Amino acid sequence: MKKNIFLTLILFATLSSCKSFNFQINEPIMIDSLDCPENGTCNLELLPNKSIEFKSDEFGNLYPVISDGDKTLFQYTFQKNPLKNTEDSNYTEIIYAELPSEITEVSITNEELQNVKLYFGRLCYCKGATGYYAIKNGEFKISKASKDSITFKVDFKITEVPQIISTIHQTVSLK
């Protein structure tokens, strides 16, 4: 009987340790995302020792202030290819999240998304439809993909402005 309890505890501890993880990032990581719309480029950056704060200008528009800190900044950027011979055709979407310095498994939804300061930015010459917005409808997950890699999965919807990127599914090697 004692042997069965002991084996059960070892099995439980082994299975529990397989799911939990924590990674510390010491150097910036930047990777090009293959999961990107055809008409642009996407990249994901993990920036250690940074923090982000969103401030308001005199018109009430939000803008990010990135500074040195004790967090890891997640930044996903989509840049649409500009139209040839067309001025002001630049279009960028940015998704930010502020993660702890030790990245662990996370699964949060909706209002909880502000626990990681999940924000969407739409930057373009789009009168009245540009700026930064808190993401309040969606899901943000970090999970272990292998011994030295993690997977980010973000699904979200913004109601304030149109968006092209609504899903991010990216595995990052931390070697």
Which residues have C-beta within 8 Å of that of residue 152, sequence separation ≥ 6? Answer: 44, 74, 141, 142, 168, 169, 170, 171, 172
Length of the chain: 175
Calculate mean pLDDT across residues 77-105: 90
- Model pTM score: 0.85
Alpha helices for 1-87 (secondary structure H): 2-19
- The percentage of the chain sitting over the pLDDT mark of 90, rounded to a whole number, equals 70
* pLDDT greater than 70 at residue 36: yes
pLDDT at residue 5, rounded to an integer = 45
pLDDT, tens digit (0-9, with 9 covering 90-100), for 92-140 = 999 999 999 999 999 999 999 999 999 999 999 988 899 999 999 999 9
Separation between Cα atoms, residue 74 and residue 57, nearest integer Å: 23
Which residues have C-beta within 8 Å of that of residue 51, sequence separation ≥ 6? Answer: 66, 67, 68, 69, 70, 71, 73, 98
Top-confidence residue, 19 or 91: 91
Count Cα neighbours of 97 within 13 Å in the Cβ-side half-sphere: 28
* pLDDT greater than 60 at residue 89: yes
The H or E element spanning position 145 is strand 138-146
